[in-house]
Amino acid sequence: VLSGALRAFRGFRFASTYRSAYSLERLYPGSDLRTAALGDQGVADIPVDRLTISYCKSSGPGGQNVNKVNTKAEVRFHLASADWIPEDVRQKISVQCKNRINRSGELIVVSEQSRYQMENLAACLEKIRGIVADAAKKPKMLSKEDVEVRRARVEKMNRERLQQKKIESTIKQSRRASLD
């Protein structure tokens, strides 16, 4: 009877999920685990509960620590169903970060720059903020004067390039021996 109770207790202990002292739930109790994506720009928050966070062994130097500790952080989320990012920004992210998106449509962000899990997780979240911020930027509209100045610069560069080619060509022609 006692061994059955002990087995039930052990099963209960292993069935519960372990939370580190540095887990987000313990560091920020009472928080809804959302971090600001772009601050004052009004874009929605990054909901940490919708991200898939995993850790694995990092590569590179570090000896026994690298071989034994899972410090590399990998954060992924399904881009098409990320309703916390506006639709136009999602489209831009899918074009800009097509090498980071796998076949199932998940955007994968990895960090192994630190030897600590939480610092790598923070770096991943910062990378996601940067990706969303870059995609949310509106292109700057050029004035007519700026367009004219840019066109004049391009024309001048092309003229100078062609003139330099002509000079090089005449130099090479003068080196050739004439067959007369």
Provide the pLDDT confidence category of residue 172 given band limits of 50, 70 and 90.
Answer: very high
Report if residue 8 sits inside a domain. Answer: no
68 Cβ contact list (under 8 Å, min separation 6): 57
CB atoms within 10 A of CB 91: 14
146 Cβ contact list (under 8 Å, min separation 6): none
Taking residues 63-82, report their average pLDDT.
89
| Domain shared by 122 and 60, yes or no | yes
3-class secondary structure, 70: coil
| Cα–Cα dist 90/136, whole Å | 9
| Domain shared by 157 and 127, yes or no | no
| Domain shared by 116 and 165, yes or no | no
Within 43-143, where are the H helices? 64-68, 87-96, 117-136
| Domain shared by 60 and 39, yes or no | yes
Q: Is the pLDDT of residue 153 over 90?
A: yes
3-class secondary structure, 87: helix
Number of structural domains (the chain) is: 2
Residue pLDDT, tens place only, 73-91: 999 999 999 988 999 999 9
Beta strands 46-47 and 52-56 are unpaired
| Domain shared by 62 and 119, yes or no | yes
What is the model's pLDDT at position 16? Answer: 52
| Cα–Cα dist 12/74, whole Å | 29
Q: Which domain holds residue 163?
A: 142-175
What is the model's pLDDT at position 12? Answer: 46
CA 179 to chain centre: 63
What is the model's pLDDT at position 42? Answer: 42
Taking residues 94-114, report their average pLDDT.
94
| Cα–Cα dist 180/166, whole Å | 24
Residue pLDDT, tens place only, 118-147: 999 999 999 999 999 999 998 888 899 999
What is the model's pLDDT at position 63? Answer: 79
Q: Is the pLDDT of residue 8 over 70?
A: no
What CATH number is associated with residue 103?
Answer: 3.30.160.20
| Domain shared by 49 and 70, yes or no | yes
| Domain shared by 148 and 67, yes or no | no
Q: Is the pLDDT of residue 66 over 70?
A: yes
Report if residue 149 sits inside a domain. Answer: yes
80 against 21, higher pLDDT: 80
Which of 21-25, 55-59, 138-142 comes out lowest in average pLDDT? Answer: 21-25
Closest by CA to 119, choosing from 71, 75, 51, is 71
| DSSP-assigned letter for residue 175 | H
| Cα–Cα dist 93/83, whole Å | 13
| Domain shared by 80 and 168, yes or no | no
- CA quadruple 38, 42, 47, 53: dihedral, nearest 10: -20
Report if residue 76 sits inside a domain. Answer: yes
| Domain shared by 96 and 152, yes or no | no
Tokens (6 digits) for 106: 């998940």
Report if residue 9 sits inside a domain. Answer: no
